[in-house]
Amino acid sequence: MEKLYEGKAKILYPGAEAGTVRVYFKDEATAFNGQKRGEIAGKGAVNNQVSAALFRHLEAHGVPTHFVRELSEREMLVRRVEIVPLEVIVRNRAAGSFARRYGVEEGRVLPFPLVEFSYKNDALGDPLICEEAALALGLADREGLADIRALALRVNTLLGDYFARRGLELVDFKLEFGRLPEGRLVLADEISPDTMRLWEVGTGERMDKDRFRRDLGGVEEAYQEVLRRVLEEPKPV
């Protein structure tokens, strides 16, 4: 089957139904803008199933997404969208690039969930961008940015609660949004341990791609454990 696009972690193929795309999740892993490369056995299957479960949960709570259904262990069917060229990051604690950029210790709880935007542009290394610059470059309009911000914060509330019931803390995550042909904004891409930081409640153990980025070991095991938690019955908190 002819590929529509191949990225670092996924391959897109035309879907069997009009207006759809089949997403295949790979085991390949990259970090630091592609400077670090490797493979995480079973990652594709975990990311597909975690993303599917989270998209279903969000849809059930009123967040529109591109998700249609799972096709196999490693593949899902999604609606074809035009991706808004912004990476939308929500942070509950300082970590990663935020902690480095502002010289604060990783783990500091932020007084409110912070929304940041990066300009999706590989050649430029996805630079941080302020809302005014995004408007000036025509990446989105004011209403679009306001909608994206509100949806991202709603996703933070829903997923923060979802993971808390499974013994994991949602530290930060990255979202991408797209527009359906009729213009409606929907959540797109993936939501997986590649795109979220999840810390074990109590110990702070890293249960996400930081195990790969920082050579912490137990990478495959952490991904499998996140899938297990996502599929398990939630506990009351």
Q: By the criterion CB under 6 A, which residues form the site for ligand UDP?
A: 87, 89, 95-98, 126, 172-174, 195-197, 209
The distance of closest approach from Cβ of residue 197 to ligand UDP in the complex, given in angstroms and rounded to an integer, is 4
**Residue 119 identity (one-letter amino acid):** Y
Integer angstrom CA distances of residue 21 from 14, 50, 109, 157: 5, 18, 38, 28
The distance of closest approach from Cβ of residue 79 to ligand UDP in the complex, given in angstroms and rounded to an integer, is 21
Nearer to ligand UDP, 27 or 87 (CB): 87
Q: CA angle, 68 as apex, 67 and 69 as ends, to 5°?
A: 105
- Give the three-class secondary structure for 23: strand
Helix, strand, coil share of the chain (percent; to 5): 30, 35, 35
Nearer to ligand UDP, 96 or 113 (CB): 96
The distance of closest approach from Cβ of residue 48 to ligand UDP in the complex, given in angstroms and rounded to an integer, is 16
Nearer to ligand UDP, 28 or 126 (CB): 126
> Rounded to an integer, what distance in angstroms lies between the CA atom of residue 37 and that of residue 31?
7
State the residue number with the nearest CB to ligand UDP. Answer: 96
Nearer to ligand UDP, 15 or 174 (CB): 174
The distance of closest approach from Cβ of residue 181 to ligand UDP in the complex, given in angstroms and rounded to an integer, is 26
